[in-house]
Amino acid sequence: TTKGLSTGLPKLDKEEVDVTFVKANGERIKAKAKVGDTLLDTVVNNNIDLEGFGACEGTLTCSTCHLILKPKDFDELPEKPSDEELDMLDLAYDLTDTSRLGCQITLTKSMNGLEVQVPATINDARS
């Protein structure tokens, strides 16, 4: 008999990581996110109630998915912000040196346990 026979089929479900969104009032919202999704996808897929968040649905035209990362996490992001993202961030409220747009941060396995701050005020640059 053959034991441990593998069919070699790829796993259909993606690996998950834990992400915590910290609202301005201190409320902590823990979420499961799929590796390869963006932080905006994570908010949408988990039905997290963040007023006005992600209004342009990730098309880099509104700055409403502005998030603030811890300096260490910001420095370890695999991709630096594009000029388009930086232009949008300039329109965001409560901008910091570690601000990014959630639609531009693609989650990797190494980001498990990521904690991001949600600014108190969201500015929709489209209006």
Distances (CA, A) of 31 to 22, 45, 84: 11, 9, 28
CATH 3.10.270.10 fits 35-117, yes or no: no
Q: Judge whether residue 14 has pLDDT over 80.
A: no
The contacts of residue 64 (CB under 8 Å, 6+ apart) are 52, 53, 54, 55, 56, 122, 123, 124
Q: Could you count the other beta carbons within 10 Å of the beta carbon of residue 34?
A: 14
Encode pLDDT of 21-68 as tens digits.
999 999 999 999 999 999 999 999 999 999 899 999 999 999 999 999
pTM of the model: 0.86
CB 36 within 8 A of CB 107: yes
Closest CA relative to residue 123, chosen from 75, 78, 90, 84: 90
Domain boundaries, the chain: 35-117
Query: What is the pLDDT at residue 57?
Result: 92
